[in-house]
């Protein structure tokens, strides 16, 4: 199998941009990635575009030049960007192409996402009675987890405060203002135990990654970042998942656990080798749970690790160094490629004020979303 | 005053002892709610109606603190909306179901507490029809106990 390297990354800032279309943001992200890779659009042989709101991300080609390349549109819930990345990588791994682009873009309105619950496999009445809300699921999952593993409300506030603090250091973030733990805890209770400032918001933005056969990557950049693993997994029977009117008594692990184990195996490394981490922090509780689901600690150890500052930029397990979803918001199609953008900056040593010390070598990114899909990517210098 | 169930296939009603209507797979015996067209565990399309126990324990919970967007049909406005409790209720060895709770104060809810199914008003339509939904209520202490 051909190895794959990242030779360019580009980001359109995450936030709110008036009339600017998601397609135009996607085109800006691709242009930035092309510049970063030092190549021109006609050298790109194929692409995958991910979005929730845009029916045809393929329209981005009309902004970049209609070169006739195969361009495939993907949507896979909050794991959309991981899916675009994996499919782009697989197309190169198969030997079919040398250079391709994965791009994600979205432009959401304010507030929670809306869809028809039937399209998620939920009963038709599920939304009518007020159950079709992802925020409620995340709240119930962390509430049980806090009960089982001794995680405190203060820990949730610490996670959110770190997200906002890291966002201050990230010029591309939606939220760039520090918020105190006291203000986070006393903000409006949206879904107990999660308050308003413990949640991310749907917003707007785009990100792009240019992938290339690893054996020719140095023709384009002196610092290729190798994509060591990409995995996707859906929920198994017994997992407690979002948008489900029931859960089995017989429990199984969340899809993230399976995606993570498979990624470590594919990369031939373990969680102890990872230097910088991006986790799906739809809410502060999700970051806590995902630390354990991705093998970075045992259940319950988060309480002490977070109190000790180990998940800060200078800690032993730097998590969501760019502010994560909490500071960046979640344009679904772009979110996972934003994680990859940040990891590439960290591994190249170009993350500026957010730079993890000690020249990190291995980066890890995880996505999770409805209706129970997880994606993991592992990168290294 | 006319009372109607919000959906006919979700719970047995009218009844003094309403039950949720689940499904039991004829092939692998796994139980789900509501009754599905096929089994989530084995894919079998032979799923029989199975009435679920009326009592269970609270496995986890939250509160719905903001008015859900459409397709929510509770009829409230941002001004009239009152937060409601939501929980996962473990019904014996059968299945865990997601349900509204009659209690919305987190301080009055404890993981592991005993709950019982109720059918409660969900909204009142302009013609006066009261639409009913299912909810779990904390089981009161037995008479004389703790008095
Ligand atoms: Zn079955």
For B57-101, the pLDDT digits (tens) are: 999 999 999 999 889 999 999 999 999 999 999 999 999 999 999
Give A45's contacts (C-beta < 8 A, 6+ positions apart).
Answer: A69, A97, A98, A99, A100
Give B41's contacts (C-beta < 8 A, 6+ positions apart).
Answer: A237, A248, B25, B28, B30
Cα R_g (chain A), whole angstroms:
19
B132 located within any domain: yes
A156 located within any domain: no
B28 located within any domain: no
Domain span holding position B79: 54-145
B65 with A192: Cβ contact below 8 A: yes
B127 located within any domain: yes
Alpha-carbon span A154 to A323, nearest angstrom:
18
**CA B39 to centroid of ligand 1, rounded, Å:** 5
Reported confidence tier of residue A38, pLDDT bands at 50, 70, 90? very high
CATH code of the domain containing A93 = 3.40.47.10
Mean pLDDT of A216-224: 97
Among partner residues A190, A237, A244, which is closest to B66 by beta-carbon distance? A190
Convert the pLDDT of each residue in A92-114 to its tens digit: 999 999 999 999 999 998 765 66
B107 located within any domain: yes
Q: Residue A136: its chain B contacts at CB < 8 A?
A: 62, 64, 86
B124 located within any domain: yes
pLDDT > 70 fraction of chain A, expressed in percent and rounded: 99
A183 located within any domain: no
pLDDT (0 to 100) of residue B145: 42
Q: Residue B98: its chain A contacts at CB < 8 A?
A: 131, 244-247
Convert the pLDDT of each residue in A272-282 to its tens digit: 999 999 999 99
| Entry pTM | 0.96
B60 to chain A: nearest residue by CA? A144
A272 located within any domain: yes
B32 located within any domain: no
A344 located within any domain: yes
A167 located within any domain: no
User: Do the Cβ atoms of B77 and B67 come closer than 8 Å?
Assistant: yes
B16 located within any domain: no
Domain count, chain A: 1
- Distance from the A112 Cα atom to the nearest Cα atom in chain B, whole angstroms: 8
Give A19's contacts (C-beta < 8 A, 6+ positions apart).
Answer: none
Which range, of A70-74, A118-122, B119-123, averages the lowest pLDDT?
A118-122
B73 with A116: Cβ contact below 8 A: no
A343 located within any domain: yes
- Distance from the B143 Cα atom to the nearest Cα atom in chain A, whole angstroms: 30
Ramachandran bin of B35, using left for φ above 0, alpha for ψ from -120 to 50, beta for the remaining angles: beta
A136 located within any domain: no
Alpha-carbon span A89 to A100, nearest angstrom:
8
Neighbours of A248 (CB within 10 A): 20
Domain span holding position A40: 4-110+200-380
Among B4, B35, B36, B68, pick the best mutation site for testing chain A contact (most A Cβ within 10 A). Answer: B68
B19 located within any domain: no
Among partner residues B72, B94, B95, which is closest to A130 by beta-carbon distance? B72
| pLDDT for A295 beyond 80 | yes
B62 to chain A: nearest residue by CA? A192
**CA B52 to centroid of ligand 1, rounded, Å:** 17
Domain count, chain B: 1
A80 located within any domain: yes
pLDDT (0 to 100) of residue B143: 45
């Amino acid at each position: 199998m051909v190895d794959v390297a990242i030779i360019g990354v580009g980001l359109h800032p995450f936030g709110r941009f008036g009339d600017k279309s998601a397609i135009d943001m996607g085109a800006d992200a691709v242009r930035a990635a092309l510049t970063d890779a030092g190549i021109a659009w006609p050298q790109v042989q194929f692409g995958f575009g991910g979005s929730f709101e845009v029916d045809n991300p393929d329209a981005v080609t009309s902004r970049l030049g209609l070169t006739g390349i195969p361009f495939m549109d993907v949507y896979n819930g909050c794991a959309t960007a991981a899916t675009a990345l994996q499919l782009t990588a697989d197309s190169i791994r198969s030997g079919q192409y040398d250079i391709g682009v994965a791009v994600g873009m979205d432009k959401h309105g304010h507030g929670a996402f809306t869809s028809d619950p039937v399209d998620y496999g939920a009963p038709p009445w599920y939304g009518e009675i007020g159950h079709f809300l992802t925020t409620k699921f995340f709240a119930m999952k962390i509430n049980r987890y806090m009960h089982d593993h001794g995680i405190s409300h203060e820990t949730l506030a610490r996670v959110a405060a770190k997200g906002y603090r890291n966002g201050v250091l990230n010029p591309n973030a939606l939220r760039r203002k520090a918020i105190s733990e006291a203000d986070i805890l006393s903000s409006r209770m949206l879904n107990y135990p999660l308050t308003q400032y413990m949640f991310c918001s749907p917003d707007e933005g785009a990100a792009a990654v240019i992938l290339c056969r690893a054996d020719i990557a140095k023709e384009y950049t002196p610092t290729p970042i190798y994509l060591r693993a990409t995995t996707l997994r859906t929920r198994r029977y017994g997992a407690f998942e979002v948008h489900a009117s029931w859960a089995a008594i017989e429990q199984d692990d969340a899809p993230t656990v399976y995606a993570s184990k498979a990624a470590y195996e594919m990369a031939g490394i373990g969680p102890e080798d990872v230097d910088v981490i991006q986790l799906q922090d739809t809410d502060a509780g999700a970051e806590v749970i995902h630390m354990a689901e991705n093998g970075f600690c045992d259940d319950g150890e988060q309480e002490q690790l977070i109190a000790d500052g180990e998940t800060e930029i200078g800690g032993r397990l730097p998590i969501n160094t760019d502010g994560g979803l909490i500071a960046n918001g979640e344009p679904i199609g772009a979110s996972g490629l934003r994680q990859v953008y940040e990891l590439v900056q960290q591994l190249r040593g170009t993350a500026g004020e957010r730079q993890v010390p000690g020249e990190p070598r291995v980066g890890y990114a995880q996505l999770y979303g409805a209706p129970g899909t997880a994606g993991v990517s592992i990168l290294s210098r | 005053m006319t009372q109607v169930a919000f959906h006919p296939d979700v719970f047995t009603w009218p009844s003094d002892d309403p039950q949720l209507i689940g499904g039991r797979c004829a092939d692998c015996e796994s139980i789900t709610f509501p009754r599905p067209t096929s089994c989530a565990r084995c894919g079998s399309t032979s799923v029989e109606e199975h009435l679920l126990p009326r009592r269970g324990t609270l496995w986890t919970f939250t509160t719905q603190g903001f008015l859900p967007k459409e397709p929510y049909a509770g009829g409230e406005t941002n001004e009239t909306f009152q937060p409601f409790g939501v929980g996962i209720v473990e019904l014996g060895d059968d299945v865990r179901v997601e349900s509204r709770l009659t209690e919305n104060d987190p301080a009055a809810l404890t993981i592991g507490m005993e709950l019982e199914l109720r059918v409660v008003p969900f909204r009142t339509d302009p013609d006066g029809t009261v639409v009913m939904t299912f909810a779990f209520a904390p089981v009161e202490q037995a008479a004389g106990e703790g008095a």
